[in-house]
Amino acid sequence: MNMHYPPAARSATLGALLAASILVLPAPSRAQDQPTTTPDRAKVLAAAREVMTAQRYCALITIGENGLPEIRTMNPFPPDEGMVVWMATHATTKKVRQIRKDARVSLYYADHANAIGYVAISGRAELVDDMNEVLARKRAYWDQAFPGLKNIMLIKVVPERIEVLNYKQGVVADPNTLGAPSITMPGK
């Protein structure tokens, strides 16, 4: 199915090229890359949620067969209470094969047009083909995209790390390191 995305969706995907390095580059180890202050967890989560829920599209970054990041535009649901993100795809897509091989993914949401900021999530994807779960999340356009709801698969992204800039909420880069506030999710 050939889909055309509006400029905002293409822009979000292009911006994800920057976020793709989260998957393939080792974490910086220089002391200057470490924030001088610990961000307030609740404020960072609220700022991230605001950016995420305001966006219709995000970029999903998987690891390709050649070890390089592959990026595509997705239409996610808003994050749940634990910042878990769900989205639908066709069960035979390349992204599904890539997730089966390596569940590490990143999501990138951006609102640069309104100078609000971005959210970059790195975590693990789970593939869900439970029809009860599909029906509980069903969107109207799925009838056309997935006739008879055949070959539909849900992708559940469980975050391990969330990085956010939200200028509107005052969640901004550390003045000493220029690093964006980030938090590690529970259990990691």
Q: What distance in Å separates the CA atoms of residue 84 and residue 97, rounded to the nearest whole number?
A: 21
Type of residue at 96: V
Whole-model pTM: value is: 0.80
The answer to the question of residue 1 being in a domain is: no
Q: Determine the average pLDDT of the residues in 22-34.
A: 45
Q: Has residue 2 been placed in a domain?
A: no
Q: What per-residue confidence (pLDDT) applies to 186? A: 78
In a domain, 157, yes or no: yes
* Amino acid letter for position 101: K
Q: Which residues have C-beta within 8 Å of that of residue 180, sequence separation ≥ 6?
A: 120, 163, 164, 165, 173
For residue 175, being part of any structural domain is answered with yes
Characterize the bridge pairing of strands 104-111 and 85-90.
unpaired
Confidence band, pLDDT 50/70/90 cuts, at residue 51: very high
How many structural domains comprise the chain? 1
Q: How confident is the model at residue 154, as a pLDDT?
A: 98
What backbone phi and psi angles, to 5 degrees, belong to 112? -90, -25
> Which residues pair with residue 58 across a beta bridge?
74
Q: What is the pLDDT of residue 6?
A: 55
- For residue 156, the domain's CATH number is 2.30.110.10
pLDDT range class, residue 9, cuts 50, 70, 90:
low
Query: 58 in a domain, yes or no?
Result: yes
Domain that includes residue 118, residue range? 7-23+30-184
